[in-house]
Structure 1
Amino acid sequence: MGHIFEGVGVALTTPFTHNEIDLNALRRHLKYLLENDAKCIVVNGTTAENPTLTDEEKDQVLEVVVNYVNGQVPVIAGTGTNNTEKSIQASVRAREIGADGIMLITPYYNKTNQRGLIEHFTTIANAVKLPVILYNVPSRTNMTINPETVETLSDNEYIVALKDATNDFEYMDELKKRLDLNHFALYSGNDDNVVDYFDKGGHGVISVASNVIPNAFQSLYNAKQKGEDIEVQFHPIQTLLDALAIDVNPIPIKALTAVEGFGNYEVRLPLVKLQDAERETLEQAYEQFKAGDQA
């Protein structure tokens, strides 16, 4: 069994117009991503403002994505919560809608221990019987999946990958010692570390910035697979990422998806938009990136 994807997976934003999900903008966005070499679409994750979406909205977005993509690339649904039974319910709905896999975040607020993580993830995986990407993002959940826990979970036939947003390369090194990477994929969850992550054998990235520049990230991964030094190629991307770091995700990236016509520049509370001067600076950085990319 191969990996779900290799290269760039897009952590898809949710487009809003007048606080309603803009399905036409969503389809335009998907068209752009498929035409620009996205290898996987990850729906209803952090970047999608998942906590502010109703269950009906999440299902609606997933259905539009599954139908539009129509098997061209895998579609992964973010269905993990801090409630195991609700995670199962959401995952079953995702399977019925047609998702190719699910992504499960570690429980938050009522965080558990490592034994609890094993039971939580295993129970969901066995109930749903879809490929599972574990999502380790301690900066948002205040807990981590220890390497030995990932190793144990990798014995489950459905648990096949990890989105690693720790930005900890000692952690990655320990994972590599414990896992069969021919069958278990490691994806970076941090756009800014992909040069090192790819150098160390990571299989790709689940990327925020790739909502607008998927081809740049996929080209970077392809170059690495050819044995090229990708540090210089990454410099313009890093400059844009520095500009995107002006505020917490997904506030800045949605300013750029709005530039491309994928919905208005809207986020749902508790998120608030960039101030005008911040937005102008970010958009200038994006235009400079695109001008360089076209040179």
Structure 2
Amino acid sequence: MELRGAFTALSTPFKDGEVDESTYRDFIEWQIEQGIDGLVPCGTTGEAATMSHEEQGRVIKICVEQTKGRVPVIAGAGSNSTKEAIELTKMAKDAGADATLQITPYYNKPTPGGLVAHFKAIAQAAPLPMVIYNVPGRTGLNCLPSTLKMIKDAVPEAIAVKEATGNLCQGAEVVELCGRDFMLLSGDDFTALPLLAVGGVGVISVISNIMPKAMSSMCHAFFAKDHEKALELSLKMAPVNRAMFMETNPIPVKSSLAMMGIFKDAQFRLPIVPLQDENKPKLEAVLKTAGLL
């Protein structure tokens, strides 16, 4: 399975505390119309951490149904409990997802051997291509390139990594140790273009929720060796990227979707709360300057 280009870590719209299926389907359709290369339901940006397993399975199924095979669907199915990750992966597989996104177990802080055993158990119970998600800022654990090599060698289903350390040296070392057949995806919009330059193949993106065409076009310009255009698009997105992290993700991006009229409003589940009042005019100003409002 080849993953290449921009994959949106989809925000999940809520209505009266429940998943807003109609808005979600329209959002997926808009993403595909805008030229996105793939979709990632139930990741951090999609607020999977506050969804029940039943809701998570339903959101993945909606995404697969609406996508109709036009782009790959990489379903968030990870957990710090191997047993739960297996259950979620089985649900993603039953829903028809093309691959799963598997976070390194948070809080537990397993050893390299524990990480290998975790991903191996998931793959054996529910064989499906998996993207390892390395985000030490949220998990308290950095999955080093040497550990990724161990995982790749032991788990054939592990085909890629979503690298969200912001460390370009680490990203480059992943390609060096794991080879070009193990796909490097940026998990941080700020490092999307630099990681392409050291052997990456794309990005799982927050900003592509609101700028899917720009992020996809940047990746494709790079692949076409039009580095000037790729840099131009990267610089265009830079101020919006910063705004997407003025507060904890997914608060700014979901607020932006509401401001743009793509979502009816910006509803969150505790412990995530709405954007602070003092940040609303700042976010609006950035979106207006970028031509999004």
Using the size of structure 1 for normalisation, the TM-score is 0.94
The answer for the alignment partner of 1:276 in structure 2 is 277
| Cα distance in 2, alignment partners of residues 33 and 106 from structure 1 | 28
The one-character-per-residue Cα deviations of 1:256-292 (angstroms, maximum 9, x if unpaired) are 1112322411111111111233122212211221269
Q: Is the 8 A contact 2:214 2:233 kept in 1?
A: no
| Cα distance in 2, alignment partners of residues 105 and 118 from structure 1 | 13
| Cα distance in 1, alignment partners of residues 177 and 207 from structure 2 | 30
Structure 1 unaligned spans of 5+: none
Percent of aligned positions with the same letter in both sequences?
35
Q: Is the 8 A contact 1:102 1:130 kept in 2?
A: yes
Q: Is the 8 A contact 2:172 2:195 kept in 1?
A: no
Q: Is the 8 A contact 1:41 1:75 kept in 2?
A: yes
Give the counterpart of 1:134 among 104, 124, 132: 132
Give the counterpart of 2:121 among 120, 123, 128: 123
Counting only pairs closer than 5 Å after superposition, residues 192-271 of structure 1 correspond to structure 2 as: 192-229=190-227, 230-258=230-258, 259-271=260-272
Shift of 1:79: 0.8
Structure 2 unaligned spans of 5+: none
Q: Is the 8 A contact 2:74 2:97 kept in 1?
A: yes
Residue 263 of structure 2 aligns to which amino acid in structure 1? F
The answer for the alignment partner of 1:166 in structure 2 is 165
Residue 93 of structure 2 aligns to which amino acid in structure 1? R
The one-character-per-residue Cα deviations of 1:189-215 (angstroms, maximum 9, x if unpaired) are 000112211221210000001011111
Higher RCO (Cα < 8 Å, 6 or more apart): 1
| Cα distance in 2, alignment partners of residues 87 and 234 from structure 1 | 35
The answer for the alignment partner of 2:175 in structure 1 is 176
In the alignment of these two chains, the number of paired residues is: 289
The answer for the alignment partner of 2:89 in structure 1 is 91
Q: Is the 8 A contact 1:16 1:263 kept in 2?
A: no
Q: Is the 8 A contact 1:22 1:263 kept in 2?
A: no
1:81 aligns with 2:107: no
Q: Runs of at least 4 residues of structure 1 off by over 6 A?
A: none
Q: Is the 8 A contact 2:13 2:24 kept in 1?
A: yes
Using the size of structure 2 for normalisation, the TM-score is 0.95
Q: Is the 8 A contact 2:40 2:76 kept in 1?
A: yes
* Bigger mean CA deviation after superposition, 221-230 or 160-169: 221-230
| Cα distance in 2, alignment partners of residues 291 and 241 from structure 1 | 13
RMSD (CA atoms): 1.4
